[in-house]
């Protein structure tokens, strides 16, 4: 068994291998790895940023399944996506990047494990980024079994967060397949019972991170008049630590991460979460394996923050932001449909689409939507053929009415999403709407809006997420 000193040396050596990966041109060789449990539980003597000469920005991709890192290097104009396990690190994709005229990053894949990619590289992969602060990734890969499109929020993990006085963060769940009490879906998200949105106070002291006053709520009723049913009291709290891992400086709950032992007699890992927080308060959480009662009608304890895959959030603004102010800005981001969990729609993959909102030319081109036209409504939609490189802004087949603000700054618990009949994710023949909850704030001086809703009117019925960052273009 390795000593603590040898684990530290081994992790440092593996980290150095990652930093020097650009010694040769892509494709990139496999990284030297180490068991996640070993590196993730190392002690930390300081919360100061990690000193590195690597020009790549390291991001944690959390909240949609397996944890990965993304290294985005604007100097070298390339990127690498890596996953980690007990056997070490595995490159999942790598290639070149360029910035489109509308500011979106175009990722061209030149390497996928086990595949030969001839020139030109694989296209159709995009990132909306506030460099070093927050990013939203949409990655599409095609293999012999078909095309897989994934989405992940990317939280920068170059350094641990420094929050001397407790600050309030708000978050929304990144949902899985829609599940209800009448249609129970294994490993789904039930908006009637499980967390849709919430808030938490976060404070740091050295490597210690205190999550306190954790409040979690279900999705409000269709009329949007209430905050939603509370799941946990605001007194809920948990202590974590920020430590260096292969994912950067991240927080794990519980602190000691357990790796499942393979073979007969394997033990399940305890409920856990991995959290990354950027320097301006962008938050991304991977929910790990939540624990709860075996009875599906009893709400489980939502581990730390969000249900489903996890949570995406940001620091609560110091003052309320008017919906009309938010609606006047330009945004780019991800439209996320988690698909249905009903037996008729199990094969439906939902959608992961690049989108834009708030561009002045959109409202005039919008088809008639079943909602009022007013200054607080954001108009937008997906890019044609999901290709931001061909158009400055997307179609106009969606609208978001943020509605009246809630009791917390930046919280809009009575939002409504309007879906045009021309939206490609609309399987019906008519326009319709569904209720949602949105949070808004600023990340590095730019507005951000994150939304969650349960669409039980459209076809397929599914959970929605809309994640938008203000565009500088």
Tell me: pLDDT of 173 over 60.
Answer: yes
From residue 119, alpha-carbon distances to 34, 109, 110, 116, 388 in Å are: 33, 10, 8, 10, 21
- Report DSSP letters for 135-173, one per residue: EEEEEEEEETTEEEEEEEEEEE-SS----SS-EEEEEEE
State the Cα–Cα distance between residues 323 and 301, nearest whole angstrom.
Answer: 33
| pLDDT tens-digit readout, 352-392 | 999 999 865 566 667 667 666 777 889 999 999 899 998 88
Quote the percentage of the chain above a pLDDT of 90. Answer: 39
Tell me: pLDDT of 26 over 70.
Answer: no
State the Cα–Cα distance between residues 98 and 114, nearest whole angstrom.
Answer: 25
* Cβ atoms of 158 and 303 closer than 8 Å: no
State the Cα–Cα distance between residues 350 and 356, nearest whole angstrom.
Answer: 19
pLDDT attached to residue 265? 44
State the Cα–Cα distance between residues 186 and 192, nearest whole angstrom.
Answer: 15
Computed from CA positions of residues 214, 168, 316, 151, in that sequence, does the dihedral angle turn out positive or negative? negative
SS3 407: coil
SS3 296: coil
- Report DSSP letters for 192-218, one per residue: TTS--EEEEEEEEETTEEEEEEEEEEP
State the Cα–Cα distance between residues 280 and 20, nearest whole angstrom.
Answer: 28
Tell me: pLDDT of 34 over 50.
Answer: no
**DSSP 8-state assignment for residue 386:** G
Average pLDDT, integer, range 175-197: 79
pTM of the predicted protein model: 0.82
Rounded to the nearest integer, the mean pLDDT of the chain is 76
pLDDT attached to residue 204? 93
Those residues whose C-beta lies under 8 Å from the C-beta of residue 317, and which sit 6 or more positions away, are: 409, 410, 440, 441, 442
**In the chain, where the domains are located:** 4-156, 167-315, 323-470
Multiple choice CATH, 4-156, 1.25.40, 1.10.357, 2.40.50, 2.40.128: 2.40.128
Percent of residues in the chain assigned helix, strand, coil, to nearest 5? 10, 45, 50
């Amino acid at each position: 068994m390795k000593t603590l000193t040898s684990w530290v040396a081994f992790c440092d050596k593996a980290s150095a291998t990652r930093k020097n990966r650009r010694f040769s041109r892509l494709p990139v060789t496999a990284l030297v790895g180490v068991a996640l449990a070993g590196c993730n539980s190392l002690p930390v003597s300081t919360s100061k940023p990690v000193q590195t000469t690597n020009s790549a920005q390291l991001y944690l991709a959390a909240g949609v399944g397996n944890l990965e890192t993304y290294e985005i290097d604007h100097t070298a104009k390339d990127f690498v996506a890596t996953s980690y396990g007990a056997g070490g690190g595995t490159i999942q994709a790598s290639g070149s990047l360029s910035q489109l005229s509308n500011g979106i990053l175009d990722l061209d894949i030149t390497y996928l494990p086990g595949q030969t990619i001839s020139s030109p590289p694989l296209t159709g992969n995009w990132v909306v980024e506030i460099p070093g602060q927050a990013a939203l990734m949409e990655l599409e890969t095609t293999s012999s079994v078909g095309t897989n499109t994934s989405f992940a929020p990317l939280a920068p993990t170059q350094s641990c967060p420094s929050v001397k006085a407790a600050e309030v963060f708000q978050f929304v769940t990144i949902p899985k397949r829609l599940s209800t009490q009448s249609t129970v879906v294994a490993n789904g998200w039930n908006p009637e019972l499980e967390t849709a949105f919430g808030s938490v106070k976060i404070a740091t002291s050295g490597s210690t991170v205190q999550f306190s006053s954790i409040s979690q709520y279900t999705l409000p009723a269709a009329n949007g008049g209430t905050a939603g049913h509370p799941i946990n009291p605001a007194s809920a709290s948990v202590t974590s630590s920020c430590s260096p891992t292969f994912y950067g400086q991240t927080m794990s709950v519980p602190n000691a991460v357990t790796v499942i032992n393979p073979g007969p007699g394997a033990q399940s890992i305890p409920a856990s979460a991995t959290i990354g927080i950027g320097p301006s308060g962008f938050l991304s959480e991977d929910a790990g394996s939540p624990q709860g009662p075996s009875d599906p009608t009893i709400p489980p304890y939502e581990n730390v923050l969000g249900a489903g895959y996890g949570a995406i959030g940001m620091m609560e603004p110091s003052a309320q932001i008017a919906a009309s102010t938010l609606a006047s800005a330009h945004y780019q981001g991800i439209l996320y449909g988690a698909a249905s969990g009903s037996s008729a729609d199990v094969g439906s993959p939902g959608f992961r689409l690049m989108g834009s909102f708030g561009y002045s030319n959109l409202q005039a081109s919008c088809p008639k939507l079943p909602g009022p036209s007013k200054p607080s409504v954001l108009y937008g939609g997906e890019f044609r053929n999901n290709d931001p490189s061909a158009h400055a802004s997307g179609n106009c087949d969606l609208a978001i009415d943020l509605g009246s603000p809630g009791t917390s700054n930046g919280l809009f618990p009575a939002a409504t999403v309007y879906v045009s009949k021309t939206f490609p994710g609309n399987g019906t023949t008519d326009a319709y709407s569904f209720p949602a909850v949105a949070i808004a704030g600023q990340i590095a001086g730019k507005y951000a809006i994150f939304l969650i809703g349960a669409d039980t009117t459209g076809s397929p019925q599914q959970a929605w997420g809309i994640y938008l960052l203000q565009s500088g273009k």
